[in-house]
Structure 1
C-alpha cells in the first residue's frame, strides 16, 4: 500500500482504535500517538500494525501507536483536527440510550483491568510526572540547544574572547527564543499537570503562573509566614506547581459534584482559584522558602568545611534542589563570592550535577538500547544536557525511571569531590553549567573543571550501569535481546513438544487475567493454575535468561524457539522473595527438570495471582501450534505442540 497522507493516516488510526467515538482524547510524545480508549474490546491492534507508517502498537493504560520522531506530532494534530478539539482535550461525547450502558460497562472493565495491575504509589507518582513533562521534551530540546549556543557565546563575551558590540544583538534574539519556554515553564507545567490530574488545563496554567507573583507590589511585598521575610518569585518551584494543581483537581471535582449546573461555570473556577491560589501563596511558597533558607545555612556550613567532602555533598544534592526549583536561592551566594574574591567557587561544583545526569543517560542508552522510545528521548536530550540544560534529562528520563535519578546524583557528587579536591576552581560570572561554563573558569584553571566534568560523566555512567537500571527495564531488554538473537538462527522445521510445568489445571493463554498475556502481546502458549509450587521445564533446551526478580525464566529450545516461563502475574513487584530457583543460565534442560520451588501462599498473600504461564516469544518462527489438552493434569504431561518454520 502506498504511503498515506497525514489525514488518511489519522483516519486509519481512528478506525483501528474502534472509531472516533471510542477515543476520549489524543496526546503524543516523541515517538507515539497516545489515545485514551473507552472500550478496549473495540480496538483492533492487528489492523493498526498493518497501517503504512505505523511502526508498532503498545496497549497499556493508553493505546500507543508508534509513528516515530518528527512525524508523530503532525499525525496527532491531524487526528484532533478531524474532531475539532485541541491535543489532550476530551472529545465531544454523543451518547444515547443503550450506548450509555455500553460505555459504562466498558469503563467498568477498564477500571477492573487497571485495578489488577496494582502499581505502587511511587510508580504512579513517577508516571504522572513523566506524563506531565514528556509532551514538553521537543520544546526542551529546541529551546535547550538555542540556550546552550547562547550560553557559550555569552560566556565567551564575558571572558573577553568575543566582542560584545558585535555579538550582543544575536545573543538577545537567542535569549528571547530560549525564554519563551524557560521563563514560563511553571505555566506550561500547570497546564500539562491539569490534563494529567483531570483539572481544567487553563486553570492549571493560572495556578502555575501564581508562583511568579506577578502583580505583587515590590514596595509592600507579601511576607513568608515561616520567616517573616518577603516572598520571592519562583518559591515552590516546579514540584510546588504540580502539588498545587493536584489539589486543584480535587477541589474542582468536588465542586462539580455539589454546585448546580446553572452556576457551575462561575462558582467552581472562582472558588478553586481562591482556595488553591491562597494555599499556594501563603503555605506552599512559604514552606519552600523555609526549606530554601535552611538549605542556605546548610550549604554555608558545607562550604566552610571545604575540600572533596564539600564537593561531594554539594554535587550530590544539587539535582534534588533543581527538581524542587530551589536552586535559585544560591544566586546571592554566587554574587557575594564574585564581589569578594572575583569568582564563585560554588558554581563549578554544582555544575557537576548536570554532568552526572549525562553519564547516567549514556548508561541507560547502552544498557537499554533495544528500547527505541527511550533511546530517541536520550538522543534528543543529551546534547542540551552537555551544554548545561538539564530539564529534558531530569523530567523526561532519569526522574520518571526513579533509580537513575539517584545514580545521576552520585555521579554529580563524584565530580564535585574532584573539583573540591583540586581546589581553586571558580567561575568569574554566573552562567549555565556543563561544557558552556568552560570559558568562564577563572585563572586558567579550566583544565581542572574539565577533569571534574569527565569524573562526573564517568561516575554517573558507572553508578547507573551497575546499580541504576530499573529491574523491569532489564527484564524487558532481556526478552528483546533473546528474541533478536533467536531471530538470527535459521534451523530446519521441527515439532516441539510442550509439557505441563506443574500439577494443576491447563488453560489457553487468552483466558489469562492479565490483558498483556491474554492479548498474546508477548507470544502464544498456555498457563496452568498450579496445585503445588513445583515448577518444571516445559521443553528440552537451555536456560537463556533468569530474570533478576526470579519470577520468569527464558528457555531456548534446540530448534531455536524462545520460551518464557512466567511464574505468577505481577509478581515482578515481589522482588524474587517467593521463588527458589534451581537452575542457572546456560544450563541444559530436559522437559522434566525442576526449575523452581514457588511459595504459592506468599504470592496469594501479596495479592498476586499464581498462574504459571508458558509462552513462545518468537512466534514468527512458528508455522503452527496447537493446545492439545485442557483441564486437570499432572506435571510432565504433554499439553501443546509447536512446529517451527
Structure 2
C-alpha cells in the first residue's frame, strides 16, 4: 500500500546488505541512509542499486544509500523501527558464535512472549508515563531541593523566626525552582512527543498552549461547558499528555497523506491547528467541568468532618494533583485563612506526599536488587520528605502502578489522624512534608508530626505487603522504570504561520551561493552528487565562508547538523544547498545558519556562514553544492561555465514544466 512504501524501501535495503544482523548502526543525513556494516562480503551492491526508491550507493567508511530529501528520514525511521532500536543505536546481533546466536535468539523470543503476556493496556500507559517523567527526575531532584530550602526559609520568616532581610534570598531560590515547575507542562509536552515518536517541538508547543500565553486580562477564552474563563494550566499534566498523544496520531497520519516535498511545512502547521483547538476547546474545559464538581465534593467532605474527611482527602489528593485539579483548592485555603486564621485543609492534603515517602522506603527495602529503581528512590526521597512529591510520583510509584495506590492509602491514613485530632491548620499556604511544620497554627505542630508518621507508616506497610509488583524486584525486569532514548530529530519544523509558495512554472535564475571556483556538478568529489543521484546543478569550492540563497523562495528545512538546507522557489524548483562533503559528521560545529524553516529569502541573501579552516582541519572538503532535487519538474537547464565566481552572480537558468 502507498502508506507502506518507506517500509518497502527499507526492507529492500536490508535484503541486499545482509539483513539487519549485518548492520551495526544506522543514521541518515539530508539525502542518504548511512549504515555501519559488519561484514561487507554480505553486501550486494548491484542489487542494492536496483531497489525501487534507491537513487544510488556510495561505499566509504559507511555504506551510504541515496534516497533523496523528504523521504530519507522516513525510510531510515522505518528501518530502525522494524529492528526495534532508535537511530544511532547499536543493532542487535554481531560476531557471536552459532551457539551464542541461538541462545540469544531463544532469550529474545522468550522475553517477547513474556512481554506479550504482561502487556495490558494499563501497563503500557504506565510505561509511557515512566518514559515521559524519568528524564526529568534529575532536575526534579535539583529544583525540589531548592524549593524545599526556600519553603523552610519562607515559613520561618512567616512564623517570625527569621527577619525580612531574607526576602531577596528566598525570592531568588523561588525563581530558580520556578524555572521547572512553572513551565512543567512544556517539558512534559516535549518528552511526551518523544515517547510517542512524534516531533518534540510540537509536543512542547501543545504543553505551552495550556499555559494560555498571550491571554492577558481582560481578554479571556471561555470554557464552553460552564461559560467561565479558562485558567492557565487547567487540565494539568495528564491533560497535556493526552493532548500530545492525540497530536502524535494526527502528525503520523499527516506524514502519510501529505507529499514529501511539502510535508515539513504543512504537517506541523495542521497538527498545531487541529490539536491546539482540540486542547483549548475540549481538553481544558472538560478538566474545568471536573474541577467545578470536585470543589463541591471537597466542601461536602469537609462538612462531614473528622477522621472520615481526613481519610478521603488524603486518599484522593494525589490523583487531583495529576489532573491539575489541586489548584482549585487555593481559593478554599485563602477563604479559610481569612475566616479562621488558618486552613485545616492543607495539613490533611500534605499527608498524600507523606504516603509516597513511606511507599518509597518500602520499595527501597523490598527491591534492593533493582539498582536502577533504588537509585531513583535515593534521589527522589530527600525532596519528598521536604514536601516536593513529583519525583516520587512520576519517577517511582506511578510507573509501577500498585505502589501509587498503596501510597495513596498511606496518605489517607495520615489524613485520618489529622482529621481525627482536629484543629490542626496552617497559617499560610506552603508546601507539604516537614517544611510545613513551622506554619502549623496554635502550637499544634506535634499533631501534624503524628500525622506525618502515620502516613509514613501507612504507606510503608501497605506497599511492603501489597504494593510491590514482581517486575520491580529485579533490575533486568524493571522495564517500567527504564529511561527511553530520545528520538533523533532530522530537521527544524516550519512555524505554524509559514505560507506556502505559489508555484508558477517557467524560467528562474540560480546565482552563485559562495565566492570561489565554480564547478559543474559532475566534477564534485562525491559520487552522489557527481553522478547526479539527487539532482543536477552546480558546485563551488569557496574562498570565503559566506553562503547565500541561490534563488528567491521559501526555506523548507534546515538539518539539525546545519550542513544542509532545503528550499523551494516560485517556479517549482526544490533546491538542496549542501555545505561541504561528509560534513554531517561534524555535528554542525563549523556552520552558522541564519534562516529557519518557513523563512522567505531572496537570491543573494546570506543564509549561512562556514568556518573553512575548521572544515579543512577536520579533513573534509568545503564544497558548496546547489542541486535541483525534483528534476522531473525541469524542462531545461543552461550549462555552467567553470571558473572564478562571486557570490550572487548568475550561474544558470532553470526552466520548469
Normalising by structure 2, report the TM-score. 0.58
CA shift for structure 1 position 107:
5.0
Provide, for residues 587-634 of structure 1, a one-character-per-residue CA deviation record: whole Å limited to 9, x for no partner: xxxxxxxxxxxxxxxxxxxxxxxxxxxxxxxxxxxxxxxxxxxxxxxx
Distance 1:315 1:154 in 2: 25
Find the aligned partners of 1:107 and 1:168 in 2 and give their Cα distance.
Answer: 53
2:407 aligns to what?
A: 408
Shift of 1:231: 0.7
* Corresponding position of 2:213: 214
Deviations 1:57-99 (A, max 9, x none): xxxxxxxxxxxxxxxxxxxxxxxxxxxxxxxxxxx995359x9
Seen in structure 2, the aligned counterparts of structure 1 residues 378 and 41 have a Cα distance that, compared at 3 Å, is farther
Q: Deviations over 1:124-151 (max 9, x none)?
A: 1111110111011000000000000000
How far apart, CA to CA, are the structure 1 residues paired with 2:234 and 2:75? Answer: 47
What is the distance in 2 between the residues matched to 1:458 and 1:352? 11
Query: Structure 1 pair 160/198, CA: closer, same or farther in 2 (3 Å)?
Result: same
- C-alpha spacing 1:115/1:21, structure 2 compared with 1 (3 Å): same
Q: Secondary structure at the match of 1:251?
A: helix
Pairing of 1:239-278 with structure 2 (within 5 A)? 239-278=238-277
Deviation at residue 258 of structure 1 after TM alignment: 1.1
Report the Cα offset of residue 473 of structure 1: 2.7
1:546 maps to none
Matches of 1:479 and 1:222, distance apart in 2: 47
Give distance in 2, aligned partners of 1:41 and 1:284. Answer: 47
d(CA) in 2 for partners of 1:461, 1:141: 21
Counterpart for residue 142 of structure 2: 142
Distance of aligned partners of 1:105 and 1:258 in 2 relative to their CA distance in 1, 3 Å threshold: closer
- Alpha-carbon shift at residue 262 of structure 1 (Å): 2.3
Q: Distance in 2 between matches of 1:193 and 1:296?
A: 29
Q: Does 1:95 align with 2:98?
A: no
- From the superposition, tell whether residues 366 and 19 of structure 1 become closer, same or farther in structure 2 (CA, over 3 Å): farther
Deviations for 1:204-251, whole angstroms, at most 9, x for unmatched residues? 111000011111142131111111111111111001000111111111
- Give the whole-Å Cα distance in 2 for the aligned partners of 1:248 and 1:277: 9
Whole-Å separation in 1 of the counterparts to 2:132 and 2:450: 35
Change (3 A) 1:455 1:267: same
In structure 1, how many angstroms separate the alpha carbons of the residues matched to 2:112 and 2:242? 24
- Matching residue of 1:420: 419
Shift of 1:104: 7.0
| Aligned residues between the structures | 401
The residue aligned with 1:436 is 435
Return closer, same or farther for 1:307/1:266 CA change in 2, 3 Å cut-off.
same
Cα shift at 1:383: 0.4
The whole-number CA distance in structure 2 between the counterparts of 1:267 and 1:473 is 44
Q: Tell me, what secondary structure is at the counterpart of 1:22?
A: strand
Q: What pairs with 1:80-479 in structure 2 (closer than 5 Å)?
A: 94-95=64-65, 107-108=81-82, 110=84, 116=113, 117-118=115-116, 119-164=119-164, 166-474=165-473, 476=474
CA distance in 1, matches of 2:169, 2:312: 38
CA contact (8 A) 1:39 1:106 kept: no
1:254–1:103 CA distance, 2 compared to 1 (3 A): closer
**In 1: Cα distance, 2:452 partner to 2:354 partner:** 6
Residues 411 and 456, structure 1, Cα contact 8 Å, conserved in 2: yes
Separation in 2, partners of 1:277, 1:431: 33
Kindly indicate whether the alpha-carbon contact (under 8 Å) linking 1:427 and 1:442 is maintained by their aligned counterparts in 2: yes
Deviations 1:325-376 (A, max 9, x none): 1111100000000001100000000000000000000000000011111111
**Shift in alpha-carbon separation, 1:104–1:426, aligned structure 2, 3 A:** closer
Alpha-carbon distance in structure 2 between the residues aligned to 1:170 and 1:427: 23
Structure having the higher Rg:
2
Please report how far the alpha carbon of residue 472 of structure 1 lies from its aligned counterpart in structure 2 after TM superposition. Answer: 2.7
CA spacing shift, 1:240–1:20, aligned 2, 3 Å = farther
User: How far apart in 1 are the matches of 2:411 and 2:421?
Assistant: 16
Distance in 2 between the 1:301 and 1:226 partners?
23
Residues in 1 aligned to 2:477 and 2:297: alpha-carbon distance in whole angstroms: 46
Q: CA deviation at 1:469?
A: 0.2
Secondary structure of the structure 2 residue equivalent to 1:95 = strand
Q: How far, CA to CA, are the matches of 1:473 and 1:368 in structure 2?
A: 6
Instruction: Tell me by how many angstroms 1:108 deviates.
Output: 4.0
Once the two structures are overlaid, the 10-residue window that deviates more, 222-231 or 294-303, is 222-231
Note the alpha carbon deviations across 1:431-472, whole angstroms, 9 max, x for none: 000000000000000000000000000000000000000023
Could you say if the C-alpha distance between residues 109 and 23 of structure 1 is closer, same or farther in structure 2, counting changes exceeding 3 Å? closer
1:428–1:104 CA distance, 2 compared to 1 (3 A): closer
* 1:508-523 equivalence runs, <5 A: none
Judge conservation of contact 1:40–1:110 (CA < 8 Å) in 2: no
- Report deviation, 1:120: 1.5
**Cα distance in 2, alignment partners of residues 478 and 270 from structure 1:** 42
Partner Cα distance (1:19, 1:174) in 2: 53
Secondary structure, counterpart of 1:125 in structure 2: helix
Q: 2:212 & 2:23 partners in 1: Cα distance?
A: 42
Task: Tell me the alpha carbon deviations over residues 395-431 of structure 1, each in whole angstroms, 9 at most, x when there is no partner.
Answer: 0000000000000000000000000000000000000
State the shift of 1:106 in Å: 7.2
- Matches of 2:274 and 2:112, distance apart in 1: 32
Mapping for residues 505-544 of structure 1, pairs under 5 Å: none
Distance 1:40 1:440, change over 3 A: farther
Asked if structure 2 preserves the Cα contact closer than 8 Å seen for 1:193 and 1:204, the reply is yes
Give the distance between the partners of 2:35 and 2:421, measured in 1 at CA. 62
CA shift for structure 1 position 394: 0.3
What is the distance in 1 between the residues matched to 2:409 and 2:336? Answer: 26
Query: d(CA) in 1 for partners of 2:161 and 2:233?
Result: 33
Q: Call closer, same or farther: CA 1:270–1:452 in 2, change over 3 Å.
A: same
- Give the structure, 1 or 2, with the largest relative contact order (CA under 8 Å, sep 6 or more): 2
Structure 2, unpaired ranges of 5+: 1-19, 29-33, 40-61, 86-107, 479-657
